[in-house]
Amino acid sequence: MIQDNCQYLQFNKRHYLKLNFMNIELLKYFISNSHRSFSQNGEDLLLNKLFQGKKKGFYIDVGSNHPVILSNTYFFYRRGWRGITIEANDSFNFLYKIFRPNDLHINEFISDGEYECYYYIYKEHVFNRVSKEELNDADIINKVKIKTKPFDKVVNPFLQNVTHFDFLSIDIEGGTINVLKTLPRLLILPEVILLEIEDFELNKILKTPEYSMLKELRYELFSIMFNNIFFKRINFTSSL
């Protein structure tokens, strides 16, 4: 049964919530039989090529969700990279202890400042989001009043001894721009930034505040992969 479920999972990652994603034996089987990529659309393989197969590095994964499934950073963790994962959903905490014990996992609601907001919980947890506005959606099953923390204040204490920040992955529904606002306050900037977006047509991306903000910080757009876009620092060189 586990083998059948895992085969379904490998070829239908977008619908993995139909399975028990907390089943540790299923996860172990999936990891041992994975066809290289753990990301939704192979984003980790593109990043690996960009970093030329680098064996060790540092990442921060904001909105990391599940530690293995659909993760943009687990591929690198297995290669020996280490970093920080940040996720608001505390139900994944025990899985991080099992599958990523050498990463620093932080359970916080991230934004550009300290705000009282609502955390909306959806039927499919990958759509959970923080919003200052009242949301009306039939798929919302609960809402919790929470307080956000600014991204820079959460991670800067851990960046003091980091000499090279390879990449930042951001996947927080409706909150990406707020994380980007804090980048100028970071002790060190990432070489590459990966964002999940809703509109992935080039002409629409070029009009977004995310694009404008990163351009001001001297990043350039270099790849679009389905609903994820990649930026790199202008002076960054790679094999691509």
Which has the higher per-residue pLDDT, 32 or 225?
225
In contact, 49 and 239? CB cutoff 8 Å: yes
> Considering only 8-12, 53-57, 113-117, which range has the smallest mean pLDDT?
8-12
pLDDT score at 50: 93
Q: 93's torsion region: left (phi>0), alpha (psi -120 to 50) or beta?
A: alpha
- The domain segmentation of the chain, as residue ranges, is 1-35, 37-111+151-233
Mean residue pLDDT across the chain: 83
pLDDT score at 120: 77
Name every residue whose Cβ is closer than 8 Å to that of residue 203 and which is 6 or more positions away in sequence: none
pLDDT score at 121: 76
> Considering only 32-41, 52-61, 203-212, which range has the smallest mean pLDDT?
32-41
In contact, 9 and 69? CB cutoff 8 Å: yes
Q: Domain 37-111+151-233, what fold?
A: Rossmann fold (3.40.50)
Q: Global pTM?
A: 0.83
